[in-house]
Structure 1
Amino acid sequence: MVNLETRDAIGDPAPLALTGEPILNRRYGPGLLLLIAVGIWWPAIELMRGEIAGQYGLLATKGGLLLLVSALVALLAFVWALAIDSTPYSVLAIVVATVIGRVTATVLTEMPIYVWTYKHIGIVNFMIEDHFSPHVQIYGDWPGFFSGMAWFSTVSGLDPLTVAHWFAPFSTAVIALLVGVLAVSAGFGRRASLIAAMLAVILNWTGQDYYSPQAAGLILALSILSLLLYSKKAPLAGYLSMPVFAVLVATHQLTPFWVVISEVGLVVFNQMRPRWLLLVHAAILAVYVGPRLERTATFNFFSGFDPVKNSTVVTEDRGSAGRDFTVLLERGLFVGLWLLAAVCFVVVWRRSGAPWGLGVAAFSSVLILAGQDYGGEGIIRVFLYSIAGCAILVAIVIARIFELENSWRKTVGVVISTAFILGVGAVGLQGYYGGWSYVTVSKSQVELNRALPASSDGHYVIGTLAQPVGWPEGATAGSVRLKLIDPAYDAAVNAVRPSLLHKDFATPSDVDRLEKTLPKEGRAHTLYFILPQQADAYGQYLGWFPPTFVPSLIELLSERPKWSKVVDGGDTVIFEYSPKKR
């Protein structure tokens, strides 16, 4: 007769395999799957190098399909690790999922993705060289992230470009760790915290983990919420949240308001100690923001009490079929996660009492829309902030499914949970890489951006066809200095851009109308009109113009006497416009 269990070193029962069962597959199966996932991921990287992503994004390429397969295999390994209750394999699966989801973007590119990353790099470069925080746009009033990154680059010797290039994998890993800590602080176990950490990695398609104040702000906010939830057991944790909150207030404009909103909920439901800390945090926020209200009014700090309008995203127009497909998946994930988290909240409430702290973390961010659209990104912030709480609520239920004693119910539950995790992983990956055709920036474009101001001695104006893609504006300390002198130096053609969209550029009269709207006098001697290849991809992705638009525009401008083609590179064409030239 076979002894079905033995005792491990600490006396707990540890299951043994039945006679004849391949114990290697049971105990080492997750590890083998993770090796397979990495083995698929590496050739996928080589296949994706140089591939042109279309309207459906990177996953629609041959290498992208392999990338998706590798991610799904890693998630299967994670589920297997949960089934055998292996913490090391679970953690390793989270690491592999982070590598597949975020390191892919880093190793496929020479430069950081997203052009708005470069404005942050420029501020950091300026602070390294000039040793103070510039009042450029809104960045100078919230210098926490920039001063921290300037300090890090100075002491480490790493170029801010390099730090920015690797920032997303690092911040994603830290956020996953903090979501797991938040689950433990709320009083839930190891398995639930591991599931929540994995969900935090695969749910976040928003791309807000890049080199930015909001990524740092989210890390600080999750740290604060973890301390506050744990303060019910140890009030000292609540006091420790005060310096962290002070740093957060000086780092990001919106995130501390969400934290204060969340604290109101925690106080109402008696989830933090001492409760008067809410007043201290609110006072810190008021003291910091108050003197800056006049300057922030220019940036629409309060967009009005209209939640419906504030929930509208930047671009609501119908675009290409690929964009519509990706947006549908993203919105489905958003709505589906909220509904599922609400159901899980009720399930947990009925079984072990209401998890009010997690409910507040999951759903409080929607109140942001009462007064802020955040430049058309308000609804994206709502989802971003809600990921942690929603992930933990769902993770608690999934963890309990793996602990069921009824084998039939457990089997059905595990199958459904596996399908959910795989589905979320696929949708999250598509959301993150769906816009690959226009989010990248090449090394040559960064070098051109650095050389152009130097060659023209600052007496110029630049503008791009489709903002904000393809041209890493503001990436140097010099560009920040120029911005301080002339805030509109890089915005001359913003008024022109709407007249260029939603049509084909086919006749000389179109160029005549363009020239009439361009600046003819002022401090700039010339105007540079940038046409990066990403602008063409972006316009087609959003349905702004047909494939013939940019080629015909380049042909027409090449024939005009006031236009000179000064750069004709593989990924960028630059025209110089001289209004006095005949």
Structure 2
Amino acid sequence: MSSVSHEPSLPFSGARQTFGFNDGAALAGTLLPWACLLAAMVLWAISLPEISVDEIGGLGLITALPWTMALSVGLIAGGFVIALGEKPTRRLTPLALILMLVVLLHGTPALVYDNLRYPWAWKHLGVIEYIQRTGSIDPWSRYLAAYHNWPGFFLVFAGLGKLFGLDPIAMSQIGRFFPLGLNLLYALVLPYIFRCLSTDLRLVWTATAIFVVGNWVGQDYFSPQGTAFLLLLIVLALCLGPLAAIPPRPSPHAPALYFDIWRLRLWATRRMPVLPRALSPAMKATAIGVVLSLIVAIVASHQLTPILLIAMLSGLFLLGRLAIGFALFAIAAEVLWLVFVADPFMGQMLSMLVAEFGAVGEDTFGAVIDWNSVSESQRLVSLAGRAIVATIGLAAIAGCVIRFHRGYRDGIAAMLALAPLPLAIATSYGGEVLFRVYFFALPFLSFFAAALVFPAPKSRLQPFKALALALLLMGGSAAFILANNGKDAQYRFSDSEVAAARWLYETSEPNTLLIEGASTYPRQLQNYENMIYVPLPEELPAIAAALSSDPAGLLGDWLHNHDGPAYAIFTRSQNAYFEAMNPLPDSDLSDVVEALLASPDVEIAFVGPDAIVFQPSTERAAPPR
């Protein structure tokens, strides 16, 4: 192994590529993708006014989409496949189609829903409101303590809100478009990362498109997670590009082990693109400063992403493509943050984290749906997500094998894809760690999946592969809408639900008891520290019999027996949760509400078309204490 071949190309530059088109076909290949893009944009615009959120049922948004939306997706997929044959080194047509696919998948719900999706996005607004209201963070907070111990994201948006005079409701309207904005930025950064791994732009664009349809897990909402992931991608782009290095040849007098390691590093990066030209000292210093600043921002904003960042930077060092200083800086920043900033949280959680380490079990799989209890529609929603994961995962394995057979070692891409796996044994992360592992690995799984279509720069896009890729993008988009938007009956909120939550939290006082039909409503959007939360699903099955037989008596007693203000809130989205997840088989949340309406023990404190808030009736005296 005396020499290693590299493909002589820099990111987004290279020799002219042709793929067997004659002049007429080449002209058609140039114009048709743009025609498909324009037609897709028109059909999407026509589709938006036809979408009625009232038609969203157990399968979520997909049930409300008109047929023109499917045709728009088909045009994007067809145009994309055609564009891959039009000398993609010279044109950005595939990227334009990818961006339109992002707009269709993420812009549609942002535009047709009146308010911010996801109840957990609203509690992020609550932390921002707390910082704006108090001018400080509370690392010892009884609720949402993790956010106060990693407050980077919240401090930035609290400052922006103060600067522009935005309250939580106004900021929620901006947050609606966060998935769209983040995914557009993902789609702009990822091609550069992929271009540092392969010279074939067809593979680069295909991998980016697969990432778009594969990113269904919903970690890209108004959150520290989605933002930290973007910062992580930028760090990788800089470290794989301008700051990357080739493993230096050991000194002739070095031990034999050094030469073995050097040869192994070269073998693991065989046939990777040639590195870009060395930066000027000023540009290199700027790039290093940006990377170090982003590392600090990631460490200050999220608990899990820094662990992955350290693993990836360490992997790049071990493969000889990056100086060790970046990994050491990330390790130092993380340790210092945990010891000196997040010590209130770590002091309380360290014993649990140690107990969880290495214990892969029920807690790890806690967020995976229980098919035995949910509705049939939610089983289909879950199946769509699993189908995406399985399809991309199997395609990635096959693509990796084919690339290896073709002489590509892709050690860096493989390391980056495998780096998130240890997270599954390090912590259950509230039962969501499997989703996070998939999310973190997805860019590099997409790279290998795209290699199944384009294993090498000289490989032709054969008709059956073109058809398979188009079907993957169309079927993947449909599965994405099912998996990502399949719970929107629970996760989208009407103006009435927002108004009820806003009234409730605005009028709350410290030590207020809040009984919740479920946690699926605009929860904790402000003054969240005033509440004592009692979500009914978390009290099951202990109260199942009483809640089914005498809900008014049970909840009436809770409201009256509390020493302080007490409320119970029920919303349309909470009822959708009960219908989909079936936590109370013998009755429904609507039965609970009807019983409360007929009870003299409670009275209505607030009512709207989609929400109602009860409080103890003044006609019933609380029992003596």
Instruction: Specify if TM > 0.5.
Output: yes
**Cα deviation 1:222-254 (Å, max 9, x = unaligned):** 122222223124594567522211111001000
1:289 pairs with 338, 353, 375, which one?
A: 338
Alignment of 1:184-223 (within 5 A): 184-223=195-234
* Structure 1 residue 30 displacement after superposition: 1.4
Call closer, same or farther: CA 1:14–1:213 in 2, change over 3 Å: closer
- Aligned partner of 1:116 in structure 2 is 120
Instruction: Tell me the amino acid that sits aligned with residue 332 of structure 2.
Output: A
Instruction: Tell me the amino acid that sits aligned with residue 41 of structure 2.
Output: V
**Cα deviation 1:290-312 (Å, max 9, x = unaligned):** 23245245455553321244530
* SS at structure 2 position matched to 1:529: strand
Alignment TM-score, normalising by the size of structure 2: 0.81
* Structure 1 residue 439 displacement after superposition: 0.7
2:580 pairs with 522, 535, 541, which one?
A: 541
- Aligned partner of 2:534 in structure 1 is 492
- Aligned partner of 1:316 in structure 2 is 369
Larger deviation: 142-151 or 342-351?
Answer: 342-351
- 8 Å CA contact 2:198, 2:204 repeated in 1: no
**Cα deviation 1:470-510 (Å, max 9, x = unaligned):** 2x12213xx14xx1xx5xx24135587314887796533x4
* Structure 1 residue 578 displacement after superposition: 5.1
Instruction: Tell me the amino acid that sits aligned with residue 495 of structure 2.
Output: K
- Aligned partner of 1:248 in structure 2 is 298
> Does 2:436 correspond to 1:387?
no
- Aligned partner of 2:611 in structure 1 is 572
Instruction: Tell me the amino acid that sits aligned with residue 342 of structure 1.
Output: I
**Cα deviation 1:309-367 (Å, max 9, x = unaligned):** 45303253221111111112212222332232122223223324311111122121111
- Aligned partner of 1:356 in structure 2 is 411
Structure-2 separation of matches of 1:305 and 1:193: 36
Alignment of 1:398-437 (within 5 A): 398-400=453-455, 403-405=458-460, 410-437=462-489
Alignment of 1:102-251 (within 5 A): 102-135=106-139, 136=141, 137-155=145-163, 159-230=170-241, 231-232=244-245, 233=275, 236=284, 240-251=290-301
Structure-1 separation of matches of 2:417 and 2:133: 41
Alignment of 1:437-516 (within 5 A): 437-455=489-507, 457=509, 460-467=512-519, 469-470=520-521, 472-476=522-526, 479-480=527-528, 483=529, 486=530, 489-493=531-535, 497-499=539-541, 507-508=549-550, 510-516=551-557
* Structure 1 residue 129 displacement after superposition: 4.0
- 8 Å CA contact 1:540, 1:546 repeated in 2: no
Structure-2 separation of matches of 1:456 and 1:251: 29
Structure-2 separation of matches of 1:154 and 1:82: 46
* Structure 1 residue 281 displacement after superposition: 1.6
- 8 Å CA contact 1:504, 1:545 repeated in 2: no
* SS at structure 1 position matched to 2:370: coil
- Aligned partner of 1:51 in structure 2 is 54
Q: RMSD of aligned C-alpha atoms?
A: 3.1
2:389 pairs with 325, 334, 343, which one?
A: 334
- 8 Å CA contact 1:310, 1:370 repeated in 2: no
* Structure 1 residue 73 displacement after superposition: 2.3
Instruction: Tell me the amino acid that sits aligned with residue 185 of structure 2.
Output: V
Instruction: Tell me the amino acid that sits aligned with residue 312 of structure 1.
Output: F
Call closer, same or farther: CA 1:579–1:264 in 2, change over 3 Å: farther
Instruction: Tell me the amino acid that sits aligned with residue 194 of structure 1.
Output: W
**Cα deviation 1:412-445 (Å, max 9, x = unaligned):** 3222222223332222222111111111012232
* SS at structure 1 position matched to 2:453: helix
> Does 2:327 correspond to 1:278?
yes
List alignment gaps of at least 5 residues for structure 2: 1-13, 246-274
- 8 Å CA contact 1:266, 1:356 repeated in 2: no
2:401 pairs with 346, 366, 391, which one?
A: 346
Structure-2 separation of matches of 1:13 and 1:455: 66
Structure-2 separation of matches of 1:544 and 1:464: 14
- Aligned partner of 2:251 in structure 1 is none
- 8 Å CA contact 1:401, 1:414 repeated in 2: no
Instruction: Tell me the amino acid that sits aligned with residue 113 of structure 2.
Output: T
**Cα deviation 1:451-486 (Å, max 9, x = unaligned):** 22444555632231122x12x12213xx14xx1xx5
- 8 Å CA contact 1:175, 1:200 repeated in 2: no
Instruction: Tell me the amino acid that sits aligned with residue 432 of structure 1.
Output: N
Structure-2 separation of matches of 1:412 and 1:493: 52
Instruction: Tell me the amino acid that sits aligned with residue 36 of structure 1.
Output: A
**Cα deviation 1:202-223 (Å, max 9, x = unaligned):** 1111111111000111011112
- 8 Å CA contact 1:496, 1:518 repeated in 2: no
Alignment TM-score, normalising by the size of structure 1: 0.86
Structure-1 separation of matches of 2:190 and 2:126: 31
Instruction: Tell me the amino acid that sits aligned with residue 323 of structure 1.
Output: Q
Instruction: Tell me the amino acid that sits aligned with residue 180 of structure 2.
Output: P
Call closer, same or farther: CA 1:154–1:380 in 2, change over 3 Å: same
- Aligned partner of 2:8 in structure 1 is none
- 8 Å CA contact 2:556, 2:616 repeated in 1: no
Call closer, same or farther: CA 1:46–1:229 in 2, change over 3 Å: same
Instruction: Tell me the amino acid that sits aligned with residue 465 of structure 2.
Output: G
Larger deviation: 151-160 or 44-53?
Answer: 151-160
Instruction: Tell me the amino acid that sits aligned with residue 598 of structure 2.
Output: E
- Aligned partner of 1:5 in structure 2 is none
List alignment gaps of at least 5 residues for structure 1: 1-9
Alignment of 1:252-271 (within 5 A): 252-270=302-320
* SS at structure 2 position matched to 1:354: coil
- 8 Å CA contact 2:511, 2:532 repeated in 1: no
* SS at structure 2 position matched to 1:317: coil
Of all paired residues, the percent bearing the same amino acid is 19
Structure-1 separation of matches of 2:503 and 2:192: 46
Larger deviation: 125-134 or 555-564?
Answer: 125-134
Larger deviation: 318-327 or 295-304?
Answer: 295-304
Structure-2 separation of matches of 1:70 and 1:500: 49
Call closer, same or farther: CA 1:198–1:17 in 2, change over 3 Å: closer
**Cα deviation 1:53-101 (Å, max 9, x = unaligned):** 222222123x255434322321222112112235332122112111111
Call closer, same or farther: CA 1:354–1:514 in 2, change over 3 Å: same
Instruction: Tell me the amino acid that sits aligned with residue 301 of structure 2.
Output: T
> Does 2:562 correspond to 1:521?
yes
Call closer, same or farther: CA 1:79–1:152 in 2, change over 3 Å: farther
Call closer, same or farther: CA 1:151–1:350 in 2, change over 3 Å: farther
Structure-1 separation of matches of 2:546 and 2:37: 49
- Aligned partner of 1:7 in structure 2 is none
Instruction: Tell me the amino acid that sits aligned with residue 473 of structure 2.
Output: I
Structure-1 separation of matches of 2:234 and 2:15: 35
